[in-house]
Structure formats: C-alpha cells, structure tokens
C-alpha cells in the first residue's frame, strides 16, 4: 500500500471552495477520480470525509452570515425596482416580495446549525455547485472592508 502524497488541508480547501471540478482536483492532488469519489462517499478515509463535511458546513454558515449583512440593501433594491420599474425584472421583484410576504419574515441565519441528519447521503457535487453559484453572486469586496 502506497502512502498518500497530498496534503489533506489543501484537498479540503479545494473541495470546499469549489473553483475546480472534481477531475481537476483529483489530478492536482495526484489521485484518481475514483479514489476522490471514494473519499467523498466515505468509503475510503472516513475521518477525512467527516472533516470535509464539517468544512462545507462551516463555509455555508460563513456565507449565510455574510449574506445576512447584505439583506437590507437587497430588499431596498427589490422594493425600488418593484415600485418604479417595469418589464420582466420588475415583475420578478414583485413576485419575490409577494412570496416573501406570504412565506413570513426572513429569519436571520442560525450560526449554530447542526449538520443535517442525512448529511452523509447528500451529494457533495451538488453541494459544491450550489456553493460555487453563491460565491459568484457575492461582491468582490466584503462589507467589512469599508
């Protein structure tokens, strides 16, 4: 049995950031796609899988904290566009605000969210795609830099 030649922390960072595809991550770390998949499913190195799950969960919480600070500005933009604008964008803003009103007030993120009970069954690939989409929507500078 050969010893691994990659750094676990760098592998976790690459997976959580989601800037590379799984094939690219596997090639970067010198492991096969199949081995990476086995790690992600918990079949190989379950302790590393647990660390990856925790890192993904912590990244989600951090993203939610950051987004909570942007929420008032987002709502102001939606209100202005919905009342002053016309066309499909204004319609989508009105639909968003109506869904928000029917669904109740937005809840602030809960920073002590536990991992879902079925987190081991969730697709990491789907999770990483969602994180990638969220990261693309964030502004380049965080509000704390002002």
Q: What are phi and psi of 86, to 5 degrees?
A: -140, 160
Residue pair 65/111 in contact (Cβ under 8 Å)? The answer is: yes
- Give the pLDDT confidence score for residue 109 in this predicted structure: 46
Domain assignment of residue 22, yes or no? yes
Domain assignment of residue 129, yes or no? yes
Task: State how many domains the chain has.
Answer: 1
Contacts of 112 (CB under 8 A, 6+ apart): none
- Give the pLDDT confidence score for residue 106 in this predicted structure: 55
Domain assignment of residue 20, yes or no? yes
- Give the pLDDT confidence score for residue 143 in this predicted structure: 47
Q: Can you say how many angstroms the Cα of residue 12 is from the centroid of all Cα atoms in its chain?
A: 14
Domain assignment of residue 47, yes or no? yes
The pTM of the full predicted model, rounded to 2 decimals, is 0.54
Domain assignment of residue 39, yes or no? yes
| Domain hosting residue 56, numbered range | 8-109+122-140
Domain assignment of residue 28, yes or no? yes
Domain assignment of residue 117, yes or no? no
């Amino acid at each position: 049995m050969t010893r691994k030649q990659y750094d676990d922390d760098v592998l976790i960072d690459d997976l959580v950031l989601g800037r590379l595809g799984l094939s690219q991550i596997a090639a970067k770390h010198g492991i096969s796609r199949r081995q990476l998949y086995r790690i992600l499913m918990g079949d190989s190195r379950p302790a590393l899988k647990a660390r990856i799950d925790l890192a993904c969960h912590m990244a989600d919480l951090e993203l939610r904290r950051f987004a909570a600070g942007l929420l008032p500005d987002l709502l102001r933009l939606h209100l202005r566009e919905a009342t002053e604008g016309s066309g499909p964008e204004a319609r989508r803003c009105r639909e968003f605000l109506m869904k928000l009103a029917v669904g109740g007030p937005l809840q602030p993120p809960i920073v002590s969210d536990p991992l879902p009970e079925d987190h081991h069954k969730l697709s990491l690939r789907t999770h990483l795609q969602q994180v990638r989409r969220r990261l693309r929507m964030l502004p380049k500078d965080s509000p704390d830099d002002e």
